[in-house]
Homo-oligomer: A and B are copies of this chain.
Amino acid sequence: MTLPVADKYNIEFGDVTRAKFDWLKSKEYAGWVVFVDTNTRRDCLPLIEKFLDHPRLLIIECAPGELNKNLGTCQELWSQMFDGGVGRRWCAICLGGGVLEDMSGFVASTFKRGIDFLQIPTTLLAQVDSSVGGKLGVDFYELKNSLGVFNDPIAVWIDHRFLRTLPAREIRSGFAEVIKHALIADAGQWGRIQKIIDLTVVDWSELIPASVNIKREVVLEDPFERGVRKSLNFGHTIGHAIESYFLETEQRLFHGEAIAAGMIMEAWISYQLATLTVSDYQLIESYFLKLYGHQVILESSFDQLFALMANDKKNDDHRINFTLLAEPGRALINQFAGRPVIESAIRHYNSLAVATE
Q: Which residues of A contact B (CB under 8 A)?
A: 30, 71, 75, 78-79, 82, 85, 87-89, 109-114, 135-137, 140-141, 143, 145-150, 311, 313-318
Taking the closest CB of chain B, its distance from the CB of A103, in whole angstroms, is 13
**Distance, CA A314 to CA B78, complexed state (A):** 17
* A313/B82 in contact, CB under 8 A: no
Question: What are 19 A-B pairs with beta-carbon distances under 8 A?
Answer: A30-B317, A71-B75, A75-B140, A78-B147, A79-B141, A85-B318, A87-B315, A87-B317, A88-B313, A89-B316, A110-B137, A110-B148, A111-B147, A112-B147, A113-B135, A113-B147, A113-B148, A113-B313, A114-B149
* A316/B78 in contact, CB under 8 A: no
Q: Which B residues lie within 8 Å of A75 (CB)?
A: 71, 140
Q: Which B residues lie within 8 Å of A79 (CB)?
A: 141
* A150/B78 in contact, CB under 8 A: no
Taking the closest CB of chain B, its distance from the CB of A145, in whole angstroms, is 8
Closest B residue by C-beta to A56: B317
* B149/A137 in contact, CB under 8 A: no
**Distance, CA A30 to CA B317, complexed state (A):** 7
Residue among B82, B150, B316 making CB contact with A113, cutoff 8 Å: B150
* B88/A113 in contact, CB under 8 A: no
Q: Which B residues lie within 8 Å of A82 (CB)?
A: 141, 143, 146, 311
By Cβ-Cβ distance, the 4 closest A-B pairs, closest first, are: A112-B313, A113-B148, A89-B316, A30-B316
Q: Which B residues lie within 8 Å of A85 (CB)?
A: 318
Q: Which B residues lie within 8 Å of A314 (CB)?
A: 88
